[in-house]
Amino acid sequence: MKDTGESKDQQLTVALRIRPLSDAEQEEGSTIVAHRVDDQMIVLMDPMEDPDDILRANRSREKTYLFDVAFDFSASQEEVYRATTKPLIEGLISGYNATVFAYGPTGCGKTYTMLGTDKEPGIYVRTLNDLFHAIEETSDDMLYSVSMSYLEIYNEMIRDLLNPSSGFLDLREDSKGVIQVAGITEVSTINAQEIMELLVKGNKQRTQEPTAANQTSSRSHAVLQVAVKQQSRSRDVSQEVRFARLFMIDLAGSERAAQTQNRGQRLKEGAHINRSLLALGNCINALSDKNGNKYVNYRDSKLTRLLKDSLGGNSRTVMIAHISPASTAFEESRNTLTYADRAKSIRTRVKKNLMNVSYHIAQYTNIISDLRCEIERLKKKIAEQSSRQLSSERADIRNVQAEVQAHAGLQSRADMEQLREQLLHAFRQQMDIRKSLMELENSNMEIQIDKSKHLLIITDWEQERSRRRSKWRAERRKESVKKDESEKDSDSTESPPDTTETQDVLLARENLTFLAAEQKKIQKQKNLLEHQFVELRDQARRLEELLPRRVSSEEQREVLGLLCKVHELEIENAEMQSHALLKDNVIRQKNFVVQRFEQYSHLCDEIIQQQRQFIDDHSLPVPPYLQELYDMYMRELDDRKLDRVMTRTAFATCPTTTEDRRGCADTPCPPSCLNLSCKKLLPESSIDLRCNAHSMFQPLSGRGFRGSPHVRPMKTSSVMTPPPIHINGKERQQIRKGGQSIAVKAARRRSKALEVDVLRLPHAPSPLDPKKQKSNLSLSEAPPRGFPTRCGRQPSPELRHATSDDNLSSSTGEGPGLQATWTRPRNRQVPTKTQTPREVDFEARRKKRRSRSFEVTGQLPHAKTTTAQRFRPLDSTSDPHLHINGPHAPMLRPHCRAAPPLTKVRPPHITQQAGKLRTAERWNSSGFHQTFFYFVCVFLLDPQAATPSPPPARRTTRSEELSCGSPSSISPPQAPGPSARADTESGAAA
């Protein structure tokens, strides 16, 4: 092994630290005489300067010292370490020896700087920490071995602080002049924590005693030696090995006996300390001699021998001198400063401790085995690294997976949110459209009402015109009978009545045109909105279908399901509001129509009563059939009174289910509803009203209005048709039961009333009586509905049947009902021998009734071909104002063919007398009082004309229909004239 390091001169680094003024010094009243001027300059002021001392008068009272670095009481441990010792660590690793020693009087802070406290560790700890950190950083390439020893020189004896039991140790110098402590314990470790524990342990072994100057006065010099050996990990035949030592020395403080007041052992310790320090001072003096000729006597003390290399050899050395700032320690401070100042000029020859090791062939085996070990070690390290990498990669994969999952979760949540928003948007739009539709429908209804009012004005005017014309014609006819031809000529010059339309009528026509245009516009808007609504509903459905696929969690599914449900309910609510609105409007219109009808009815009654009064007053002869008619009229009046009461009850039993309502619409109302009143006794128009009132309870779809032409146009004006609210089986049963009980009551009351009639009326005439036969025949021919039996007022089987179970069951649509009782069978049954013709007739009707009741329930497929449909007895001919929706004229035509206006109807017995009973099926009770009234009028005017001719086969005009209810409109049948045609046209236009 040979030393290959290059040497270079290096000056000793001297730092000076001034500690803070201690409590004791403050108590003594010491003043601060040492000041740090800057990073390097210290000023020491002499507190004993006497102004009277002439000899020293010219001397400066302050002395300035310059050092490499200067600290005062404000400097921290870290600052001192960084400025003094930290730079040595790099050199130490590179193979340069280093020494740091703390020098100064006792109690000036040497131990504080080197060892420090737990909170403020000193140079020892900080240096070792940094050293091991630096070793760790380069350990991949270099192989280090660190050993540490800790000793004290106490009373010129060396003691191993790590192993105090080893006794006093000797100093020896090897062949190269390197001082060694024989037998010292060297601890090899690179664990900083372990070294710290050793230091604590060693410090506890250090001799420390309290003195007057310092309560923790160190009575020995403590030397911590750290040896660092470093070599490259790559082995070769020759290899470079670096070796360096670091001494960190906490010297004992120089002390004055007077100051320390030591006695005995302490005094002896002090003497030894001072001697070693004096030797150190001498060495420093010698080393700092500028000439360099002075002999350096290291052998005077073990301290100087130990520090031989550090002071004058191969070492980078840092001296940290400590002084007290107190005036009381002025002398010690000045001495210390003087020594430190001298030490500055000490120069050391520093060289790297490099050893090139050449191996013999015999050592190659070891080298190879070492290399193998190294290879194994490296392989192991690589494996460890790869496994660490793998695990980190796995961790990375897991992280990535977690991230992906989180991202997917976020994505799905965002998707769900978007879906929810879309759904909500679709629902909101649906609701908006619903509302708009409702508003449009409302406007439409209002327009309809307005139109009805205007139509009414026009109709009134037309009636008035017709009345005037009729009157004019009658007058003309009368005059033609009374006067001769010449007078006729003169009369022919009379102008017809003025038929110019009034201002009101013109205005009404204008308004009608305007309202029709408005209605068209509304209809267009409605169609558009309905189209949009359908699209939106489809869109919402598609979104709802998407839900199960998109929704990941049950919770989300539940929430979205509820959301859909809520909006469905909202839509249903809107539909119900729409229905309510429509119903409200329909009711308003019905009320209007009912009022109108009642006006007509009262007027008819009034006229009949007054005419009757007139006949009675003038004792005019009344033909028996007119008397019969009048009696019938009176009975009808009574029945109507009863009927009003019963109708109120029967209304409560109106069918509620769709099927029942449909039955009511397609066919006459079921018995439980209004059969006892509207179908038997009430005039046609009344029945129609009731039936329409029924239809108010139907859903506003076209289907619900099928049976009533008056309300059929409503089909086109209904809003989007939401499904009807279905009533479950139980509820339906309850409703039916309620209906049945009310129907039973009504039927019983009806039967009772008829029985009273039987008691009151004369018995049926004998079949042998030709007159009565005629009457009887006429009765059997005549429709039974509301038409009282002249032959003794026997309660008809039909009416008795009204209370039967059969009949009642039909009210719920479950069995045959009474519907057929107000229609007349077309094909009469051939009487058997035992049956009277009347019984045969009843039997036939009963069968027909059963078939009709099937028709109502819809159980027979060919029900539509029954007579009920052909006769259409419920269709009104009397009041055009029922036609509240849509076009009127086309709807009226088929209706009128089935039930012509009263002006064209002959009373049954008259037609029989004339042998022309063809229109009996047209006969119905609704026109009864009107017919009667007609005959009374005719009779009064001209008894000869009381035998009417059969009605001409012509189409009924609307104006004539409208005049049905008006007494003034009753006129003898006549061929349609130009005026009538004009009426027809104007009515159709309206």
Ligand X SMILES: Nc1ncnc2c1ncn2[C@@H]1O[C@H](COP(=O)(O)OP(=O)(O)OP(=O)(O)O)[C@@H](O)[C@H]1O
Give contact residues for ligand X (rule: CB under 6 A): 19-20, 22, 104, 106-112, 214, 216-218, 252-253, 322
What's the per-residue H, E or C state across 694-709?
Answer: HHCCCCCCHHHHCCCC
Smaller CB separation from ligand X, 126 or 883: 126
Rounded to the nearest whole angstrom, what is the least distance from the CB of residue 289 to ligand X in the complex? 28
Rounded to the nearest whole angstrom, what is the least distance from the CB of residue 36 to ligand X in the complex? 12
Please provide the distance, in angstroms rounded to a whole number, between the alpha carbons at the two ends of the chain: 136
Smaller CB separation from ligand X, 106 or 851: 106
CA-to-CA distance for 526 and 124, rounded, in angstroms? Answer: 97
Rounded to the nearest whole angstrom, what is the least distance from the CB of residue 215 to ligand X in the complex? 7
Rounded to the nearest whole angstrom, what is the least distance from the CB of residue 101 to ligand X in the complex? 12
Rounded to the nearest whole angstrom, what is the least distance from the CB of residue 341 to ligand X in the complex? 19
Q: Which two tokens stand for residue 261?
A: 């007041």
Contact 358, 15 (CB under 8 A): no
Smaller CB separation from ligand X, 79 or 194: 79
CA atoms within 13 A on the CB side of 535: 8
CA-to-CA distance for 121 and 81, rounded, in angstroms? Answer: 10
Smaller CB separation from ligand X, 218 or 459: 218
Contact 434, 575 (CB under 8 A): yes
What region does 642 belong to: left with phi over 0, alpha with psi -120 to 50, or beta?
alpha
Smaller CB separation from ligand X, 107 or 713: 107
Smaller CB separation from ligand X, 122 or 707: 122
For residue 522, what are the CA distances in angstroms to 436, 516, 702, 718? 11, 10, 19, 12
Name which of 450, 488, 446, 495 is nearest 469 in CA terms.
Answer: 495
Binding site for ATP: residue ranges? 104-111
CA atoms within 13 A on the CB side of 415: 15
Smaller CB separation from ligand X, 259 or 789: 259
Smaller CB separation from ligand X, 71 or 854: 71
Smaller CB separation from ligand X, 18 or 654: 18
Rounded to the nearest whole angstrom, what is the least distance from the CB of residue 288 to ligand X in the complex? 23
Rounded to the nearest whole angstrom, what is the least distance from the CB of residue 174 to ligand X in the complex? 31
H/E element, 986: helix 978-989
Work out whether strand 13-18 and strand 69-71 pair parallel, antiparallel, or are unpaired: parallel
Work out whether strand 208-209 and strand 217-218 pair parallel, antiparallel, or are unpaired: antiparallel
Smaller CB separation from ligand X, 107 or 951: 107
Please state the separation of Cα 573 from the chain's center in Å: 21
- DSSP H helical ranges for 95-245: 110-114, 123-137, 192-205
Binding site: residue ranges? 104-111
For residue 904, what are the CA distances in angstroms to 544, 633, 922? 62, 19, 10
Rounded to the nearest whole angstrom, what is the least distance from the CB of residue 164 to ligand X in the complex? 19
Contacts 24+ apart (CB under 8 A), 836-844: 836/767, 837/777, 837/780, 838/776, 838/779, 838/780, 838/791, 841/780, 842/796, 842/797, 842/798
Residue with tokens 């504080």: 112
For residue 556, what are the CA distances in angstroms to 90, 421, 561, 567? 66, 14, 8, 17
